[in-house]
Amino acid sequence: MEPTLEYVFEIRATIDPDFHIGRGPEEKLSFTPVSGGSVSGPRFNGEVLSGGGDWATERFGTAQLEARYMIRADDGTVVDVLNRGYFRATPEVLERMDRGEDVPEDEPGLYFRTAPVFQTDAPQHRWLAEHQFVGLARDEDGQVCIRVYLLA
């Protein structure tokens, strides 16, 4: 059996400036607050609530990410999100991103992938808590955008 992916929605999270926390010469810890955003797609729509954030631990040029935030669906249901992943980019791509340029997720020199896990007991959204998902991420217009796919 070969796995298949079904596009289900895109998360567009608005982020605030990050906080450098530190660690040591080979490791950097930072926190980036999530202050809002939107979710839209063929299977789920809503808004990203403020108050969450993303912890990033960078080692040797690769950041291990762990974001925790909530989404309010259009019907009012609140869904908890734990989104883990990895980010790394070549110096050239980082330079472009630092200048504010939007870099697509399929750009050579950029690896920004996630595996979101959703929690809810709302019957109409239970499918979110019962499947594995993968995300292709990018920075765009000052937001972190994650195209979310259901792994079948």
At 83-93, the pLDDT tens digits run 999 999 999 99
- Domain of residue 104, CATH code: 2.40.160.20
- Report CA-CA distances (Å) from 43 to 26, 90, 128, 148: 42, 34, 10, 11
Whether the predicted pLDDT of 125 surpasses 90: yes
Residue 80 in this model has a pLDDT that exceeds 90: yes
> What's the whole-model pTM score?
0.94
Q: What is the DSSP string of 15-75?
A: EPPPEE---BTTEEEEEEEEEEEEEESSS--EEEPTTEEEEEEEETTEEEEEEEEEEEETT
Q: How many domains does the chain have?
A: 1
Distance from C-alpha of 41 to C-alpha of 115, rounded to nearest angstrom: 18
Phi-psi region of 37 (alpha: psi -120 to 50; beta: other; left: phi over 0): left
The range of the structural domain enclosing residue 10 comes to 5-151
| Residue whose pair of structure tokens reads 């000052």 in the numeric block | 142
For 8-33, the pLDDT digits (tens) are: 999 999 999 999 998 888 899 999 99
